[in-house]
Structure 1
Amino acid sequence: MTDDDTSISLSGWGRSANRRTIVRRPTTDEELVDAIGSAGQVTVRGAGCSYGDAALPEQGIVLDLTARNRVLSFNHLNGVIVLEAGVVLGDLLNQVLPLGWTLPVLPGSARITVGGALASDVHGKNHPGAGSFGQHVLWLSLLDAEGSVTELSAGHDPDGFWATLGGMGLTGVILKAAIQLQPAETGWAKQRRRRTRSLDDTIAVLRELAVRQETDPNLHVVAWLDTHAPGTRLGRGVIDESHPAQLGDLPKGVPPDPDPRRSTRRRPVRSLPGPGVVLAPTIAAASMARWHLGGPRDRLLPLLSALCPLDRADAWPAAFGRRGMVQYQFAIPSEATAVLRRVLAFLVGSRMSPALTTLKNLGFGTAGPLSFPLHGWTLAADLPARWLGDGRTLRSIDAMVAEAGGRVYLAKDSTVDPALIPDMYPRLKTWQRTRDRLDPDRRFGSALAHRLNLLP
């Protein structure tokens, strides 16, 4: 057995799903092709920030692409950048912000790779105006199991292009991509914070802000919900509006580029023993404190701090103890606000008030059959995995979401009822046909694909 054949333990970011597997870390195209050719099934992995099992294998090996992280070209005049899939978004921002450019879409974590952003077609807090990550990709290169490389775009094999964007790494290996950046005068953001006093109040404010977001792709909005407040106060929240700062917004003496820049690399933190510190009493106390301390204020923050605040919390999954955490995120149509109330009531009534709950506006989705966003709302709830028993605990919520015409986020899923995936993603069969064309021998897979029967 060589060093390359030694199995190691991998997990999703939430630490609730684990696999022992052989990991290959190719740096050249030749090493990559050899690794695929010598394996049965291959699971493609970036920075490992998917919460569940999307980047874990059911069988075969794992290809870790983080060593393939070069910027290949950058046009400073028009903002078109070509880069390898292993580039981390935060590292990219640290390079381009001082040059007057930024990413048009930044998800909740800047620690994911470009390949992961494409495979999940990630969205940000500005989705109503900016759309998802894939809408700013000019083309991408896809490597198949036979070693052939195809360039895909909205104009060249659009079915393959959109099947890959949001395709969870199951269509092949994304080697590189060309992305259209947008101008940025500074690396700062202006943030306005306000509180709401009920779920109705939160929804009303978010609706008002969504109208502005649709015409301003630079307006980022998120609400943090208090799921411990009793009665009519359930769902009250703290809403942050963030907007990239212009030079004229900066106080005298503040440089355009924040410095020093904080690291975008994850630092490993050992899980706390037993149940950790995320317990019902501590969750209740933290929720109350977050709301009471979230009074109205305006402030200036580094852009990454404003848009990715949880990237400062390397120990967040570790705090949930040895069994880790699950983030349950779903999207529902704009008229289905009753489902938000029913979900919160179910969680509270089941004594599973989340450790963290966020609500955001979503705009219209894309041509990607497995892309997550749809016009309406997305709610994300962080839960201790130990609360979920055999994994069926949230099936009632699955049914509510599916009945409303909504869906769960595959990039974060750990528990959804696989029988509901065709209802949640009605273009699944279209994606499967394109996927089988791109990978007819089904060499690319994952534990997620197996669990949800995405490749029947």
Structure 2
Amino acid sequence: MTPDDSSTTELSGWGRTTHKRTRVRRPDTQGGVVDAVLAEPEVTIRGAGKSYGDAALPGQGVVLDMTARDRIISFDQGNGVIVVEAGVLLKEIAEQALPLGWLLPVMPGTEWITVGGAIASDVHGKNHPGAGSFGRHVRWLALLRSDGVPTQLSPGQDADAFWSTIGGMGLTGVILQAAIQLHRVETGWAVRERHRTESLRDTLSVLRTLATHQEADPDHHVVAWLDAHSTGTSLGRALIDEFHPATSTDLPAAVPPFPERRGRSTAARPIRSLPGPGLMSRATIRAASAARWHLSRAGRQLVPLHSALCPLDRAESWPAAFGRAGLIQYQFAVPPEEGHVVGEVLGYLATHRMAPALATLKNLGRGSGGLLSFPIPGWTLAVDLPARWLHDPDALRPIDKLVAAAGGRVYLAKDALSDPDLIPVMYPRLPAWQRTQARLDPDRRWTSALAERLGLLR
């Protein structure tokens, strides 16, 4: 079988909550991509499959796997512009560019996603108040429409189509290539400063102060791990990590400026889900949370940039630990004046015996021009929950309503069960996106399980 032929296989999102047996086509040439698109009435575009939920799973039709389109086409070491095919992993860009003093300006929690996926989800990092999301650093992209016609888009060339594709969840067309502006760094290390807070009020206060610094410095990365299992006034106490790329003067004399990367990561070989409930019971989650809080210490430390920016790459087996039902990550953003929503959500989860296995809080800054892009100025909370706790599809509906009423939104790239009636409230630019999507998809080929479940397409 050639890469352009279709095969039948079982796919899931990274959270392993939904599994679908489907036809997959994996062309390795641009002509093969065009042929696959024109041969299929309904197509779901998929990269590395790191979306937690069903964003890269099909409703009907075939899955177009873009991971064979993974060439780095050019890299200008003078100005830091790299041109790549959409199937290139962020990891591959980092491996080539970092030893030369260049870094992707936005890194999500993992390097194991494709450039096409990073654009389609408009991913953000821990430095969003200063650096913005991934789409801000895309100089141009080549998009294949559903009629088989490729077109080049940029902020100055069909801006509506460009900003509908940035964060457009793979529903405007196949991203073929993109030019990304990289960022200069002096070393491959980061200086980490860890702080401890004793309450959610203190946590929000510290993060609010740090957000001011982040807005002025795109190299300032901040993330808080919340202790969602403490009670009373201690609920929401946190370990807050600040990271700055290290300069040569930060390094001891014996430390090389760019640390040697380890061999091939286990991220390429996810382990099978553990049987039954796996390791994630309420008791084990509470014990692990308490241990992390009591064993972690404040202070300053030198760590590899990769470890600082991509913690998920040390935990590829994380979803497997949640057992056969898998993992749901619920992530939302609310405006800066609505920080109380974070406490209300943590309180709701605790009251309903759903205190999360992991809860992280970050600052967000000004959003991109992406019509369906997730970040808005304010706060974003992400909580990891065993999917078996959510057998009632309405279990998180009160949180959806709370977030929407506060002017917030859920992250579509991670969504698995949000209320579809609230999506137009959370994403008020949805009608404008739908008009451009219809123009780019005249043959109505693009779809996904996410799009069908949430009614994203007209």
- CA distance in structure 1 between the partners assigned to 2:229 and 2:146 by the alignment: 50
Q: Structure 1 31/2 Cα, relative in aligned 2: closer, same or farther at 3 Å? A: closer
- CA distance in structure 2 between the partners assigned to 1:429 and 1:262 by the alignment: 46
Question: Which amino acid in structure 1 is aligned with residue 259 of structure 2?
Answer: P
Question: Which amino acid in structure 2 is aligned with residue 335 of structure 1?
Answer: E
Q: Structure 1 358/262 Cα, relative in aligned 2: closer, same or farther at 3 Å? A: farther
Instruction: Give the match's secondary structure for 1:156.
Output: coil
- CA distance in structure 2 between the partners assigned to 1:109 and 1:74 by the alignment: 22
- CA distance in structure 2 between the partners assigned to 1:260 and 1:217 by the alignment: 24
Which residue of the other structure, out of 299, 304, 307, is the alignment partner of 1:305? Answer: 307
Is the 1:104–1:181 contact (alpha carbons within 8 Å) kept by the matching residues of 2? yes
Could you tell me which residue of structure 1 aligns to residue 23 of structure 2?
22
Could you tell me which residue of structure 1 aligns to residue 101 of structure 2?
100
- For the pair 1:246 / 2:247, whether they are aligned, the reply is yes
TM-score (structure 2 length as normaliser): 0.98
Question: Which amino acid in structure 2 is aligned with residue 393 of structure 1?
Answer: A
Query: Within 5 A, what are the aligned runs for 1:343-362?
Result: 343-362=345-364
Question: Which amino acid in structure 1 is aligned with residue 369 of structure 2?
Answer: A
Amino-acid identity (%): 64
Could you tell me which residue of structure 2 aligns to residue 157 of structure 1?
158
Residues 330-363 of structure 1 show CA distances to partners (whole Å, capped at 9, x for unaligned) of: 0000000111111011000000000000000000
- CA distance in structure 2 between the partners assigned to 1:261 and 1:103 by the alignment: 19
Give the drift of 1:119: 0.1
Instruction: Give the match's secondary structure for 1:366.
Output: coil
Question: Which amino acid in structure 2 is aligned with residue 171 of structure 1?
Answer: T
- CA distance in structure 2 between the partners assigned to 1:152 and 1:31 by the alignment: 21
Query: Within 5 A, what are the aligned runs for 1:122-201?
Result: 122-201=123-202
- RMSD, matched Cα: 1.2
Figure out how many residues of one structure are paired with residues of the other and give that number. 456
- CA distance in structure 2 between the partners assigned to 1:374 and 1:439 by the alignment: 27
Is the 1:159–1:434 contact (alpha carbons within 8 Å) kept by the matching residues of 2? yes
Is the 2:54–2:448 contact (alpha carbons within 8 Å) kept by the matching residues of 1? yes
Residues 288-330 of structure 1 show CA distances to partners (whole Å, capped at 9, x for unaligned) of: 1111122212111111101111211121000000010000000
Could you tell me which residue of structure 2 aligns to residue 446 of structure 1?
448
Instruction: Give the match's secondary structure for 2:371.
Output: coil
* Unaligned 5+ runs, structure 1: none
Question: Which amino acid in structure 2 is aligned with residue 269 of structure 1?
Answer: I
Could you tell me which residue of structure 2 aligns to residue 83 of structure 1?
84
Could you tell me which residue of structure 1 aligns to residue 33 of structure 2?
32
Could you tell me which residue of structure 2 aligns to residue 335 of structure 1?
337
Instruction: Give the match's secondary structure for 2:253.
Output: coil
Could you tell me which residue of structure 1 aligns to residue 269 of structure 2?
267
- CA distance in structure 1 between the partners assigned to 2:151 and 2:2 by the alignment: 32
Question: Which amino acid in structure 1 is aligned with residue 142 of structure 2?
Answer: S
- CA distance in structure 1 between the partners assigned to 2:346 and 2:417 by the alignment: 18
Give the drift of 1:146: 2.1
- CA distance in structure 2 between the partners assigned to 1:100 and 1:261 by the alignment: 19
Could you tell me which residue of structure 2 aligns to residue 204 of structure 1?
205
| More deviation, 424-433/281-290 | 281-290
- CA distance in structure 2 between the partners assigned to 1:176 and 1:78 by the alignment: 19
Give the drift of 1:261: 3.4
Instruction: Give the match's secondary structure for 2:109.
Output: coil
Is the 2:228–2:359 contact (alpha carbons within 8 Å) kept by the matching residues of 1? yes
Give the drift of 1:5: 4.1
Is the 2:97–2:103 contact (alpha carbons within 8 Å) kept by the matching residues of 1? yes
Give the drift of 1:257: 1.1
Give the drift of 1:260: 3.1
Give the drift of 1:390: 3.1
Could you tell me which residue of structure 1 aligns to residue 412 of structure 2?
410
- CA distance in structure 2 between the partners assigned to 1:167 and 1:392 by the alignment: 26
Is the 1:193–1:294 contact (alpha carbons within 8 Å) kept by the matching residues of 2? no
Question: Which amino acid in structure 2 is aligned with residue 95 of structure 1?
Answer: Q
Could you tell me which residue of structure 2 aligns to residue 367 of structure 1?
369
Which residue of the other structure, out of 400, 403, 417, is the alignment partner of 1:401? Answer: 403
Instruction: Give the match's secondary structure for 1:179.
Output: strand
Is the 2:6–2:26 contact (alpha carbons within 8 Å) kept by the matching residues of 1? no
- For the pair 1:255 / 2:268, whether they are aligned, the reply is no
Question: Which amino acid in structure 1 is aligned with residue 117 of structure 2?
Answer: G
Instruction: Give the match's secondary structure for 2:105.
Output: coil
Could you tell me which residue of structure 1 aligns to residue 60 of structure 2?
59
- CA distance in structure 1 between the partners assigned to 2:408 and 2:221 by the alignment: 22
Question: Which amino acid in structure 2 is aligned with residue 186 of structure 1?
Answer: T
| More deviation, 37-46/370-379 | 37-46
Could you tell me which residue of structure 1 aligns to residue 283 of structure 2?
281
Give the drift of 1:262: 4.9
Give the drift of 1:2: 9.9
